Amino acid sequence: MAETRRNLLKGMLASAGALMLAACTPLSEQQWVVSALGEVENLTRRMQRLFAGHHALAPEFSKKDIAPVFRANGTLNPQTDEYAAHAAKDFADWRIEVGGLVERKLSLSMAELRAMPPRTQITRHDCVEGWSCIGEWTGAPLAPILAAAGPKPEARYVMFYCADPMGSSLSGDVPYYYESLDLLEATHPQTILAYQLNGQVLPVEHGAPVRLRAERQLGYKMAKYVQRIELVEHFSNINGGKGGYWEDQGYTWYGGI
């Protein structure tokens, strides 16, 4: 059964995947690609949720499968004065704020995050650019953190705001990397705020001090340098309105693999 389902999804994704090989560079000039992906997206999302079950796990691997060097992509260092100051103090003062549609706002220090029961998972990262890497991630599962904050009934999405500015704009309104998941994906057992890669403190190029891992999703969903988490009812009023930095450039919001 599982094999049939996988092959079915693979077939459906193959056509989308071929189109996505040029990715992590803006696709906006290729509007036909974007609209084609949009149609595949809805179908794929429904299929995954119907057949893979809400909390089906992404495959996990063993130590021998770990890539000797985990490839880094996107921002490799946020290069702001603020980030440099945090790095100089080994991120001792870094905090993750949890707010928006919650009963209780939280402000978590790295020490508090590390004190929570951790989860370690060896998974394969798939970037739409057409490369994959297997690595071992350790971090705090997001579900208990969200539970502690207490999502209000209207909360549907979880926004992740990052510390890296993405280029400049004439208005002076510099967009920062950001991403979002729905509550189902955010509370999935393999969704963690990771602070270790392969048993080592998370390196700067991989999102130090803490980055999102949502293992059923594509690489661009895995926000690095996470500083703020916000629960919202919808994201149409946030930045470009599509739920993430790459989504605003035309990638699909649902990055299921």
Ligand X SMILES: Nc1nc2c(c(=O)[nH]1)N[C@H]1C(S)=C(S)[C@@H](COP(=O)(O)O)O[C@H]1N2
Consecutive H or E run containing 109: strand 106-109
Whether 177 contacts 256, CB under 8 Å? no
Residue 228 interacts with ligand X (CB under 6 A): yes or no: no
Under rule CB under 6 A, residue 71 binds ligand X: yes
| Region of 36-44, 67-75, 87-95, 96-104 interacting with ligand X (CB under 6 A) | 67-75
Quick check: 192 binds ligand X (CB under 6 A)? no
124 near ligand X, judged by CB under 6 A: no
Burial (0-12, 13-18, 19+ Cβ within 10 Å), 113: buried
CB 6: neighbour CB atoms within 10 A? 13
Cite the DSSP H helix spans in 28-109: 31-51, 81-88
Q: What tokens appear for 38 in the block?
A: 């949009």
Q: How far apart are CA 9 and CA 72, in angstroms?
A: 27
In the set 100, 139, 207, 219, which binds Mo ion (CB under 5 A)?
A: 219
Composition of the chain by helix, strand, coil, percent to 5: 30, 25, 40
Between the two ends of the chain, the Cα-to-Cα distance in Å is 18
136 is a site residue for ligand X (CB under 6 A):
no
Q: For the CB of residue 127, give the shortest distance to Mo ion in the complex, in Å.
A: 3
- Give the residue nearest to ligand X (CB): 74
Beta bridge partners of 256: 217
Member of 61, 73, 77, 124 binding ligand X (CB under 6 A):
73
CB of 244 to ligand X, least distance (A): 9
> Could you say which of 223, 232, 238, 257 contacts ligand X (CB under 6 A)?
223
How many residues bind to ligand X according to rule CB under 6 A? 19
Pick 151 or 223: Cβ nearer ligand X = 223
Nearest distance from C-beta of residue 166 to ligand X, angstroms:
7
Asked if residue 250 binds Mo ion (CB under 5 A), the reply is no
Nearer to ligand X, 24 or 151 (CB): 24
Rounded distance, CA 132 to CA 135, Å?
10
**Residues near ligand X (CB under 6 A):** 24, 71-75, 127, 162, 164, 177, 205-207, 219-220, 222-225
Contact residues for Mo ion, defined by CB under 5 A: 24, 127, 219-220
